[in-house]
Every structure is written in C-alpha cells, then in structure tokens.
A = this chain, B = another copy of it.
Amino acid sequence: MPAYGNDELTKSVQDLFSHIFETECTVFFATTGSAANGLALSQLVPPYGATFCHEFSHVQMDEVGTPEFYTGGAKLLTLPGEQGKLTPEALSQGLKFYFPEMTHHVKPKALSITQGTEAGTVYTCEEIMALTEIAKEFGLKTHMDGARLTNALVHLGCSPAEMTWKAGVDVLCFGATKNGALAAEAIVFFDAADTEDFAWRHKRSGHVWSKNRFMAAQWQAFLKDGLWLKLAGQANAMASRLAEGLRAIEGCEVVYPTQINEVFVTFPAGMAEGLLEKGASFYDWVYPGDRWNGRLKRLVTSYVTTTEEVDAFLTQARHQVDS
C-alpha cells in the first residue's frame, strides 16, 4: 500500500468529508485534538499574531501550550464568557483594544471557538455567525475546536455545513476519538486557499502516519451509515438522563445546561467522596478563581454508557443523601 496518505482509502475518506460537509474540503489528520488545534492555528496565525479564545478553553488551559509550540509563540488572548461561550461583546471589546494597529501589541489573526464548549454547552449557528462576522470584519480567520463536534451537532440537529463553514468557520478540528475512534482527529479546511504549504507544516510536526490507511479506516467506519451521530446521540442522551436525575436530588446543583455529554454539578458535602468510594469516576473541575471554590465536578458520559449505569449512579447518589 502506498505510504503517507497516498493510498486509495485515504483518498476516499477525503471525498467522504467533502460529501458530509457539502463542500470541497481539504483534510489532514492528526492523532490528538491538541495537535490538530496547534497545527490549524499555526497555519492561521504567525508568531507575532494572536488568537482570541475563551479564558477557559482547552487551547488555553489544557494543552500545555501546544498552540504556542506550533505557532512559534503566538499569544492566546483570552476573553470572558458565561457557560464557556464567547460573546460578540467581549470579542468586539478585545478587538477595539488591539486595533487600530499598533506594533507594541500582538496582531490578532484568528478567533478560536470550541463547539461543544468546555462547559458542556453548545453555540447555536446564529451565535457562531455573530462571532465570525466580527472576526471577518477585522480580517481574522475562525478556527473551531470540535473535539466534541458530533455531540454538538446532534444537540442542534442542524447539518454539519450549517454549523461550520456556512456559519463562517474557516478551519475545523474535528475529533472522532472522544466518540469511539482509537486516535483520529481531522483538520478540515473549507477554503483551499488557506492550505498553502500546510502539507509541510503537517509533516514537520511528526503527525503524518506512514501507514495512513489505518487512520483513514477509523474515519471510514466512524462516518459510515451515521455511526458517528448514533454514538454521540447515545452519549448525549445519557448525560441528559444523568442531569435530570441529579437535579431531583437534594443539594445537587447542575450548574450549566446539559447540551452534550457532560454534566457539571456541585454535590452536597460528602457526596462526591461517597460516590468515588463506591467506584464512580469523575474529576474536580477547577479554574483559577472559580466561583465554586473547587467544588465543581465534571461527569462525562460516553457512547458506551448505558441507562443502567446512569441509573445506578443516581441511585447511589440518592443513598448518599439518605445516609
């Protein structure tokens, strides 16, 4: 089999992306979402440039500076926003400060949106468009971090095209790993003009598999017959069930709308410890200066989570209240 993505399977999967997104796409692959984000941003943002992103976004908080590594040190300019979502107001204010152009400040070149967000919420297509229109006005390209894209898509019920390029997104990092793949992320450019020399950046990062057919095979299986939507739908449904159940338990507060496969909750005293002791697995969800002072927990469901597992968790939580 030809190596480095010159095989037939890789080519057919690239066509599949164009079909699904209803436009000619240029697709590159990466093993992790961090790498995909870093690579995409390095194409949009020069070292002296900057990217606006949410203050608690994955690129800012959880990638050990991957974007800075890939871009050669371009800054992330963080903006606040409730429930993990950027607002047109915050973006406009940020841009107002950095323009008119002044060489003492970094030069904004991109906007990065996370869909679904780190708070488990989802931008509507209109919300995305409101942001990308401002970005375009100032000459910024828009990157979408779509590690949980399919979950957001299922939530909105719109088409992949509507949520991405039709809403003004230039480059999408589309993740399959969180919904079932072994290690498969795709960098999807919607305009070929944005891909100049990207093949060199890509190869230089060490993310081009010699046996790329095994990367392509994951995508083929994932995207075939709507499997991706089915898997994300199951994960979302389980999170909804979980959130609903938790809301009914005294002292539990679900703090964000549950729109994808994550539930953010504060438990009454002792409950988290009790659940962990019984074998549950979840993380503290903390930010510098978070208002819950470290008490917020993130519960994640997946495509293999079952109704029985959710119900057992809820039963256990109720036991904790009673005891």
Contact = CB atoms under 8 A, between A and B. Distances in A.
Given A65-B75, A200-B64, A32 B207 contact: yes
A224 interface: no
Interface string A283-299: 00011110000000000
Nearest to A97: B288
Contacts of A107: 64, 197, 200
A105 B177 contact: no
Contacts of A205: 35, 66, 69, 205-206
Contact of A72 (B73, B104, B211): B73
Copies per complex of this chain: 4
Contacts of A177: 210-211
B204 A47 contact: yes
Interface residues of A, number: 60
Interface string A83-126: 00000000001100100000111110000000000000000000
Given A35-B205, A73-B65, A205-B66, A46 B103 contact: no
Contacts of A70: 206
A30 interface: yes
A182 B214 contact: yes
Contact of A207 (B35, B48, B182): B35
A201 interface: yes
A286 B49 CA distance: 20
A208 B69 contact: no
